[in-house]
Amino acid sequence: MEKVLDIVPLRSFVAVADCGGFQRAATHLHLSQAAVSQHVRRLEAATGRRLVERDGRRSRFTADGNRLLGYARRILALHDESLRGLGVESEETVVIGSTEHAAAQLLPRLTATLEESLPDYRVRYRLDRGTALREALGAGRLDLALLLGAADDPRATPVGELELTWYSAPGWTRPGGAVPLVAFDSPCALRTSALETLAAHRIPAEIGAEANQLAGVHAATAAGLGVAVLATFGTTPQGLVPRRDLPKLEPLPLFIWNRQGLDPTVSRHAVVSLRRLLSAHRGLAVAPIAQGA
């Protein structure tokens, strides 16, 4: 039987990488999660290689999967370039970067609203740490980025504030000495907020565990290694409980950054869409919409 790498499964495969998982890829592509999984299995059958494997509750690409990912991007780029060269109409793509804090709650809803306000654009996402998103934005690999923390950059527009909450494992008791923190690797706005809030109240603190992904912070906190500061949009993560015995945290401003040269219509619709979403979401305060925004 002839082995073929079809365009549609390759597009699903790339979406799994860019969106950070099967469910988010399915939402982005307007497919069921089962359909995306089937597309990946078709690629595995065609290549005779295991491309994705389970890693706890998450999935990760194997070495062969990462190798195919590079080929897939080149194949899709050439495919789309061929259509454009032949004058075939295709949707423009807007690439939005986001940290994991905003992904699960905001991105599916943002996709739906942008598809209504920007029907000629196809929305794609990149999930990463804030520093990596800023670098990608500066290099032109992203069109927009959702980032936490103060910003005086002309590319940044405020869209609201995210409420922060202390979390721990059920039954965890605060020690008599320094409060152990579970935090993202530095630099991180949530980590800074936790340390500065405790310092302002003269409460000693130390980093008890670090992780570079949200799943790692959840796991370490659930294991009782300390308390974590999270922006959870009013939904308590499984295996954790909110803490009311630590100082109140100030909300963090949320900004949407746009790359230089981006069509201002795209940026304006994204800003308005996010502000509307945040206004309807519990635990979020909304930045006022300025004239012309």
Whether 104 shows a pLDDT value over 80: the answer reads no
Burial 70-89 (b: 16+ CB within 10 A, else e): eebeebeeeebeeeeeeeee
Q: For the chain, give the mean pLDDT.
A: 83
Whether the predicted pLDDT of 84 surpasses 80 = no
Q: Give yes or no for residue 166 having a pLDDT over 90.
A: yes
Average pLDDT over residues 52-80: 87
**DSSP code at position 260:** T
Question: 112 CB contacts (<8 Å, ≥6 apart)?
Answer: none
Cα separations in angstroms, 13 against 52, 66, 186, 255? 10, 10, 31, 30
Could you tell me the fold of the domain covering 1-89? Answer: Arc Repressor Mutant, subunit A (1.10.10)
**Residue ranges of the chain assigned to CATH 3.40.190.10:** 91-160+252-293, 165-242
Residue 283, pLDDT score: 43
Which of the four pLDDT bands, split at 50, 70 and 90, describes residue 167? very high
Range among 102-116, 130-144, 185-199 with highest mean pLDDT value = 185-199
Q: Which residue would you say has higher pLDDT here, 219 or 125?
A: 219
Q: What integer is the mean pLDDT of 186-215?
A: 91
DSSP per-residue letters across 164-194: -EEEE-TT----SSSEEEEEESSS-HHHHHH
Q: Given this model, what pLDDT does residue 289 score?
A: 34
Least confident of 26-30, 118-122, 267-271: 26-30
Mean pLDDT in residue range 234-247: 88
- Within the chain, which residue ranges are assigned CATH 1.10.10.10? 1-89
pLDDT classification of 23: cutoffs 50, 70, 90: confident
- Predicted confidence band of residue 156 (pLDDT cuts 50, 70, 90): confident
Average pLDDT rounded to a whole number, residues 181-194: 89
CATH superfamily of 165-242: Periplasmic binding protein-like II (3.40.190.10)
pLDDT at residue 112 is higher than 80 = no
pLDDT band at 284 (very low <50, low <70, confident <90, very high): very low
Has domain 91-160+252-293 been given CATH number 3.40.605.10? no
Question: Minimum mean pLDDT among 77-81, 136-140, 155-159, 177-181: which range?
Answer: 136-140
Question: Does the pLDDT value for residue 237 go beyond 60?
Answer: yes
- CA–centroid distance for 77 within its chain: 23
Give the Cα separation of 124 and 228 in Å (integer): 30
Residue 99 has pLDDT above 60, yes or no: yes
Give pLDDT, residue 195: 95
